[in-house]
Every structure is written in structure tokens, then in C-alpha cells.
Chains A and B, each alone.
Chain A
């Protein structure tokens, strides 16, 4: 008998169908990946298993767990099931943990509630579990509140709480999507090591994660299961079109397809940039320290780093959106004022920004026509309303949207369409520099590729210089000529695309590359190359900022900050770069 058997599951909300028809089963001890784009119904399926769907959902079909039907089971039975036999780990541990209760107390409550073990032993059992999930200094951290832990540590605590009662099935719903790539690898390793004979249902949009971690995989599209099979076989010979499209769209690090860089005149050059914030308690937080960055006509430069690396701060300071403490910004040969108000209309026109969240960056109360037309209102006030509308229509068509979209509101657009509108707004002034701040991070694979192609076309047509801020190395590989890697506000490595991916010089760059999950079961990447997490920017480590996590750190790394040195055209900040290469 299968541990979990789902047969003909359907979930509807009124007239809209969330899950049309999904059937699959999971055996004991198996690890199964459930893959699909956003809105495909994968999370809804997980919630249905746990009986956590809202009352407005109408559910049909059958879900059997260890032979017992779960649909229609009474709430007491479901409670008992959730407590002891099926557990879930959600995407965002900050929302899943109670912010007012210490980690230890939250975990002990699980044991006490269900009479697991003797009451006197709960504290020891909790600490033992926290040690197993790799929470450092567990006997002290047991008294920490969720906000006192880093994202990765919170997710470890979540996993500890899920496994505490020794469930038969662990459901992990995008458990690493909110985490940095080096931490993601650690958490995925942990899930694999710790589950022992617990079955795992790993829900993700990332084929790379499934390729390296799951024995079997299921592919869903629009609420239907379109393909299932052993992971290796599905990747080798996908049968369904959607699976083929997903695999094709999945990010890889191997091929770049970016023509060689042709360095021309610098359009924008930032030198010696320092950005500092002041915390509420008055402490100075150095976000960017002494970083240079330049971009020339027709060139794409990617700025890469995990959260807290200062990549966004650097570029926002260059745009004048946050104050720059020291350093110079030169645009087309002119030094620019530090604050936005002090800059001329022409320079403001020449530098535009596209944001991560496509709908959040569009005013929900304005129609597409006025959103895209507003920059013209400021910079070309002489245009008549008719001419303006004409220009807006032409711009929208360039970004692949027809005139039908002119009178729509942002909430009537899909994520990809909204991002096209945001790009149209940025490009309508014909800027020289376009900054994309995680501009494709919120989009599904196929849409992501379309947006990247759109940007490349705009660049080929007008010689646009693009600065691409991202944490996603596969995107970097696909779009950029040159790459700047940052860590804790400092330059780690600056190299062109081929040499960075072909021959990474800095241990941190190598760790990043190793940690990226790749959709290839034989060589899946996603390996843990460094331990620990990014330290707080409030107290950056002495010497080389990366030394506490670096496998090659020596005495000199702890004492002295490495200067950026030129190695065959790559700038590298590492004392041991030449030896290690």
C-alpha cells in the first residue's frame, strides 16, 4: 500500500479551477519532486493533503494516507495526522513561526500538545533536534526569538519542528526560494540527510533542485498532472510538451550565447563608491565600500551577490535614489550631483530603472497609457495628447504588447505583461543606461526568457548600456558581457562572462557557481561549497570579509584586507588568488 495515494484530485473556488485532475502516489521512504510554474496548482495539492484549504474551496477526488481517506475526515483526525504523520515546511519561515514565542518554546509545545515523550525530557529532545538540523550553539539558540535568527537558521528551525514528531511524510513547499543560493544548497543537503526513512514531497518551480535531489518527479500544468517518472528518465526523454518547454527554459550555466563584449566609450562610470545607512539605534551600516563600476555603450554588466552584498545600494546610489557617502558618478563625461534633485533633466532622462516586482512598480490607479506616457509628459511637454498616445502605442508594440493594452489597469495584466509595461516606461525616453534590479526574478522560466530577449533586442537596436542586478547566476550567464561579484559591500571579482564562468578566481565565486542547482541529473550542481551564512553588515569580519566562510583562509586573510589585483584581465580581491588558480 502506498503511503500517500491521490486519485483524481480537483480543487475549485467558485468558477475558477485551481486543480483539475491530479493523481499520483508516494511510497515509503521515497523522495518525489512536484514541479510546475506559478499557478499550476502544486501548492494547492499540498494544502489539500494537509486539510488546510480554505472553507471556500470545494474538493473532489480522493486522498488516501496509509489507507485512510483524508477528504471529509473530521478535524480531530486531521489534527492528529498533521501533528504526527505528515509535516510541512513552508517557503517563508518568518511567517510560519510565531514571532512572540522563542524557538524552543514553539518546538516544546508540539511535543507537549501530543504527549510525545515525558514532559521532563522535552527540552533535551528539542535541543537534540536543533543540533541535528545544524543550528549552531543549539542549547543557547533554543531561547532565541525567530527574528534573532538568520533566514537559513529559521528554515532549519522550521525543519526541526516538522521532524520533531517523526512524521512519515514531509512536504516541503518551495523551502529554499526565499534563501540565498549558498544557503539553499545547505538546506537541501540537510533535507536529504535528515529525513532517513521519511518520505519527501518537494514542491518547487526550480528543475535544478529536483534534478539533484529527487528520485521521482511529477510535472503539473494548469492543475493537471502532465508527466511523471523517474527523474533521470524524465530529463533524458521528456514525453510531454510542457515538460520539454520547462527543461528548455530552465536556467543553465553552460552556454552563454552572449556575443563577445565590445568595449566602447564609458556611458556611466562609478568610482570609489561608498554607501552608508544609519540604523535606528544610530549605528552606521556600511552597505557599499570602495567599489568601481563602469558600463559602456551596448554593453551589459551584471552585478551579482547574495542578500546584503550591497548590489542594489551601489546602483541606487549611482541613480541618485539613495545618498552616496563618497565616490564619483560620471555620466557621458560629466560628473553628476549626488542627489537626484541636483541632476539635470537630460541626465535623469538618460538613466532609467526596471524593478523586480512588475505589478508593484506600476501605479495601480493608472492605466497603461498614462503609466507609459508619464515620462513624456515631463520630458517632452510640447507633445500633444494625440502624439503622446501614438508614441506610447509604438513603444508598447516594440515591447510586444498591442494597443489593446492601452486602457488596462495593472491588475489586469499578467506578471510578464506588467514587466513589459515597466520596460516600455523605462525605454520610452530612449535612455542611454538601463538598470534592471532583479527584473526577471519574479517571473516564470518561459516569460523570463522572453523578457531577456526583449532587453537584448533593445540593446542591439539602440546601443543601450544595461546594468543587471541579480542573485541568479544563470541569468548572469545568459545576458552579461562582464560581471561584478560583490560580498558584504566589497568587490570580490570583476571579470568578463567567459572567464568568470570558465575560470572563477575567487573562492567565493567558485562557491556561488557550485551552489547553483542545474537541471541535469548527472551533474546537478547545488553543492554545498561553503558553510555558514553572510555575516551581519553591522559587524563585517576583519581582514578579508569572506574569510570566516572560506575553505582556504589563512592567517593573512584574517588580518589584512586584500586589494583588488589584475589576473589575466580579471580583478580579484583575494590574497591567495594566484596560488589557488
Chain B
């Protein structure tokens, strides 16, 4: 644990804790509109900490909901990319040869598809739904993960402990999951912390375009989008969710970098 990890991890945990506890303490909820109090600026009285939006909904509760959704999307997308990417990459790298060539060309083909086009297709073909966003983001991220894992596996499978296992007759499945996969941990965990901010950005981007989370549900991206429309009269509607988004992204990036440093140091010893 170095200092970068402690500071960025602490801020992240703080934001997440407030995001989940805050709404419980607030007298308002995210759906409730109050047409008497449209576009109120932030104030402590009546617990309008972040003010209200153009429909009179409480912005604090909505921002916290946005943080929840954003973090959830990011983590689920990362787990999807982790599971598919590690399994795919490790199998491709370990089996090698023709299997590897075919599996990796498939990845290359998917890379060639324009992502936004792919997402728009998905959204049109199916109803817009929450789950679909996880799938779409995970489906993109696992490609990078698979490539990284495959590269690592190619060097791992030449290692002597893998050769020893082959010689004794340990099954291929056991070699991949018991000998190769655990040794990928260092690289993979670092890469995951770096894909989380990427997934957050993609989700925000989709929501900003109106392709993501649908009203009355919300995410930080959707809140920023709504804020842009009210930018001139109610700047807090843009600034608060944008600041939250930036803080979360920075923390994840710093955390990932710090983690990579920590693992590098261990490798050197």
C-alpha cells in the first residue's frame, strides 16, 4: 500500500459511502417533483444540498443515484470483461498454434467494428435497457483484456513449472486454471482498475448521447447532459455532477497507477 493508493482509495470509498447512505438521510427521493421549487440553487435549508433541477427534483439524491449507477455499471462491465477476457486469453495463449491464430483473428475482427455503431444497433434491435449497457461495455472491454492475458500466457506456458505439470500428466484445464490463471493476477488486477474509469467514461458518453440510462433512472453522464441544457440559468446542475464524475475518474486512475507501481516493485524483488 503506497500513499497514492491510500489517498485515492480513501476518497473513492468516501464518495461511494455517501452515495449509498446519503439518499437514506435525505427527506426527498429521486422521483418526487415539486413544481413550486424549480431550479433552486444549493442550500442547507430543507436539505437541498445540491439544489433542484428543472422538474423540481432534488439534485443531491439524483446525483447520489447517478454515482451508484455509474459505479455499478463500471464494476459489472469490468467483471464481464475480466471473466471473458481472462478465460479467452488464457485458453488461446496456452493452446497456441492454430487455435490461437483463429481465436485472435476473431478478436481482431471484433476490434474492427465501430463501437458506437455497434451500440446503436443493439439499442435499436432490443429495447433500451439497463442490462444491455453492461453487456455492451463489457463486450468491448474484454477484447483488450484477452490480448493482454494471451501475451502473458504465452510467456507463462514456457515456464518450468508448467512444463513440470505437463510432464506429470496434469490436464490442460487444470494447467490453465491452476497454474496459468493465478499467475496472471498481478497484471489483470491492475488492468481492471484501469478499465473501470474507461467503462465509466463510455457509460457517461452513451448517456450523454441519450443512448444510455433512461429517465427517471439516471447516471452521472445523464445528469451532465441535463445540466448542459440548463447551463446558463442553473450552472450547479452541470457543475456538481461533472465534478463528481471527474473526481471518481481521477481516483480510479490514480488507484490503478499506484497499484501498478506496487506490483512492479514486487516483481523486481
Contacts and interface: CB of A to CB of B under 8 A. Distances in A.
A374 B183 contact: no
Contacts of A89: none
A365 interface: yes
Interface string B148-186: 000000000001110111111111000000110011010
Nearest to B156: A363
B167 A363 contact: no
Contacts of A355: 160, 163-164
A378 B165 CA distance: 10
B183 to A, nearest CB: 6
Given A357-B160, A361-B161, A365-B182, A321 B168 contact: no
A557 interface: no
B164 A425 contact: yes
A540 interface: no
Nearest to B179: A363
B166 A374 contact: no
Contact of B170 (A319, A352, A378): A378
Contacts of A375: 168
A81 B167 CA distance: 53
A345 B168 CA distance: 8
A530 interface: no
Contacts of A378: 168-171
A426 B166 CA distance: 12
Nearest to B165: A374
A319 B161 contact: no
Contacts of B163: 321, 353, 355, 361
Contacts of B183: 363-365
Contacts, number: 60
Chain A interface category by residue count: 20 to 34
A362 interface: yes
Given A363-B183, A365-B183, A353 B167 contact: yes
B169 A348 contact: yes
Contact of A361 (B164, B168, B170, B171): B164
A261 to B, nearest CB: 27
B161 A362 contact: yes
Interface string A478-514: 0000000000000000000000000000000000000
B268 to A, nearest CB: 11
Given A364-B183, A365-B183, A321 B166 contact: yes
A340 B167 contact: yes
B165 A349 contact: no
14 contacts: A340-B167, A352-B168, A353-B163, A355-B160, A355-B164, A360-B161, A363-B183, A365-B182, A366-B179, A374-B168, A377-B170, A378-B170, A379-B168, A425-B164
Closest 10 pairs (CB-CB, A-B): A361-B160, A365-B182, A363-B161, A355-B160, A375-B168, A348-B169, A360-B160, A378-B169, A363-B179, A361-B161
Given A363-B179, A426-B164, 17 more contacts: A319-B167, A320-B167, A321-B166, A340-B166, A348-B169, A349-B169, A353-B163, A355-B163, A360-B160, A361-B160, A361-B161, A363-B165, A363-B182, A365-B183, A374-B165, A378-B168, A378-B171
